[in-house]
Amino acid sequence: MTSFMPPAQKNWWAVPVGRQELVWIAIALVWCLIMFFMMPFWHMYGDQNISNEGYRVTPVKYQAKVNEMIEKYKVREVGAMKIPVVAPPDGGDVYLMARLWQWYPMLELKKDVTYRLHLTSIDWNHGFSLQPVNINLQVVPGYEFVLNITPNKAGEYTIVCNEYCGIMHHTMLGKIWVKE
Ligand code: CUA
């Protein structure tokens, strides 16, 4: 029988549901509940998705803030592209911008100091994946996300774009250095 055919029994709603079907419904329901409660659980205990504030922003306004920060706190430049490295003051606002195909600028932060990290994209959707600690965030144009971050381990961290954003997506890498 297919769903295109009329039911064999006229009172089809009164036919008892098969045992196998009931088992599947029960399994699906339990799994739905597990997935549902994993969302708040993982948010509290998972470290992967940090709580954020969100504001509307335009690319022009955001770029101005990024440039102002670079002008004030640039410590050096890296690579052939001469990407600035910024060491913002303790507890300060840090503006990081995603664009095709770059994280701009690069950052030098201090261990155990809390910063306000601002994040947006000035073109389209990018993904902020911080390696090797596996922090994952969506970077959405038009919205400025603000996160309170406290690096707890010194070292070199790489920002990988994990949201496909075009032909050079795989080259979209950024750096954060955390110093003791
Ligand atoms: Cu940006 Cu992929």
Strand order in the sheet with 173-179: 74-78, 83-86, 106-110, 173-179, 155-161, 126-131, 135-139
Per-residue pLDDT of 41-59, as tens digits, reads 988 887 777 788 899 999 9
DSSP-derived pairing of the beta strands 115-121 and 93-99? parallel
Residue 158 lies in a domain: yes
- pLDDT tier at 176, thresholds 50, 70, 90: very high
Instruction: Output the six-digit token pair for 149.
Output: 């971050």
Which residues does ligand 1 sit against, CB inside 6 Å?
101, 126, 161, 163-165, 169, 172
pLDDT (0 to 100) of residue 1: 52
Give the Å distance between the CA of 47 and the centre of ligand 1. 22
Which of the four pLDDT bands, split at 50, 70 and 90, describes residue 133? confident
In a domain, 81, yes or no: yes
Residue nearest to atom 1 of ligand 1 (CA): 126
High-pLDDT (> 70) share of the chain, %: 98
Q: Is residue 136 part of a domain?
A: yes
CA angle 144, 147, 150 (to 5 degrees): 150
Q: Domain count of the chain?
A: 1
| pLDDT at residue 166, as a whole number | 93
| Dist. CA 45 → ligand 1 center (Å) | 27
CA of residue 102 to ligand 1 center, whole Å:
8
85-104, pLDDT tens digit by residue?
A: 999 999 899 999 999 999 99
Q: Which atom of ligand 1 is nearest to the CA of 169?
A: 2
CATH value at residue 79: 2.60.40.420
Give 2's pLDDT tier (boundaries 50, 70, 90): low
Domain holding 61, by residue range, is 52-179
Residue 17 maps to a domain: no
Compute, in angstroms, the gap from residue 18 CA to the centroid of ligand 1. 48
| 139 Cα nearest atom in ligand 1 | 1
Would 159 be classed as within a structural domain?
A: yes
